[in-house]
């Protein structure tokens, strides 16, 4: 269930304080439109995308900054998939934030990454996300605010910018809308979850993800 807007803000305050025709022409046009749909329809405005935006396969990852399994996938599974599919232009990776306990920290981490991206772009965003995953055991604690501030500082954000970032209602609203779409339209209920060209992968194992990506590639004819 999505966190109510007021409750989410309270969580952030707590962190800040303490924690057609049957002609060949028609057929060709239809095929081209279908191919375009495969390439483009799975990316939404505001998505953080890694790789060639025209790649035929879209890998959507729903992950939480506080999810240990997400951190494991980021460290042990995604590097190989990126090398095999993203770096070769076969697929692009879309990262979408999702909440898991402790939700207030999950939200705060996502907002900090989004703030950093406004100046540093997607590379800075993914650098912060990777840092948060690698240091989960440190920043998910009673000193969460101080630890998150260190992560932000490493990305070039000063203390004033960090404090202002945690109060960004506009970013929170966008992330809440994303969470709602994930749960209601995609059926996402846990992390990490992957959706490959619109089809939810059965698990986040390397074997299942590789199989799902290969099947999607085969359907596109790439």
For 159-205, how does the pLDDT look when each residue is reduced to its tens digit (9 = 90+)? 999 999 999 999 999 999 999 999 999 999 999 999 999 999 999 99
Are the CB atoms for 95 and 63 separated by under 8 Å? yes
Q: Which residues of the chain have pLDDT under 70?
A: 1-41
Lookup: tokens for 77? 């599974």
Rg, C-alpha atoms of the chain: 19
> How far, in Å, CA of 155 to CA of 125, rounded?
9
Distance of alpha carbon 199 from its chain centroid, rounded?
16
Are the CB atoms for 77 and 206 separated by under 8 Å? yes
Distance of alpha carbon 112 from its chain centroid, rounded?
14
Pick from 135, 172, 167, 160: nearest CA to 2: 172
Q: What pLDDT, on a 0 to 100 scale, did the predictor assign at position 41?
A: 63
pTM score, whole prediction: 0.82
> How far, in Å, CA of 153 to CA of 112, rounded?
11
> How far, in Å, CA of 38 to CA of 60, rounded?
13
Q: What pLDDT, on a 0 to 100 scale, did the predictor assign at position 155?
A: 95
Q: What pairing do the DSSP bridges indicate for beta strands 91-97 and 48-50?
A: antiparallel
């Amino acid at each position: 269930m999505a966190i109510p807007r007021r409750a989410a803000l309270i969580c952030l305050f707590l962190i800040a304080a303490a924690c057609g025709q049957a002609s060949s022409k028609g057929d060709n046009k239809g095929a081209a439109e279908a191919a375009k749909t495969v390439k483009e329809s799975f990316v939404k405005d505001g998505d953080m995308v890694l790789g060639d935006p025209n790649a035929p396969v879209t890998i959507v990852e729903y992950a939480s900054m506080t999810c240990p399994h997400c951190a494991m996938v980021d460290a042990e599974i995604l590097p190989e998939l990126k090398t095999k599919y993203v770096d070769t232009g076969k697929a692009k990776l879309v990262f979408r934030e999702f909440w898991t306990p402790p939700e207030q920290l999950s939200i705060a981490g996502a907002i900090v990454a989004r703030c950093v991206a406004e100046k540093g772009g997607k590379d800075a965003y993914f650098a912060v996300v990777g840092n948060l995953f690698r240091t989960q055991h440190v920043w998910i604690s009673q000193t969460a605010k101080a630890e998150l501030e260190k992560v932000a500082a490493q990305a070039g954000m000063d203390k004033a910018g960090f404090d202002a970032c945690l109060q960004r209602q506009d970013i929170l609203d966008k992330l809440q809308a994303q969470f709602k779409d994930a749960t209601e339209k995609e059926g996402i209920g846990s992390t990490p979850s992957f959706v490959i060209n619109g089809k939810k992968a059965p698990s986040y194992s390397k074997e299942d993800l590789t199989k799902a990506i290969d099947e999607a590639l085969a359907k596109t004819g790439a």
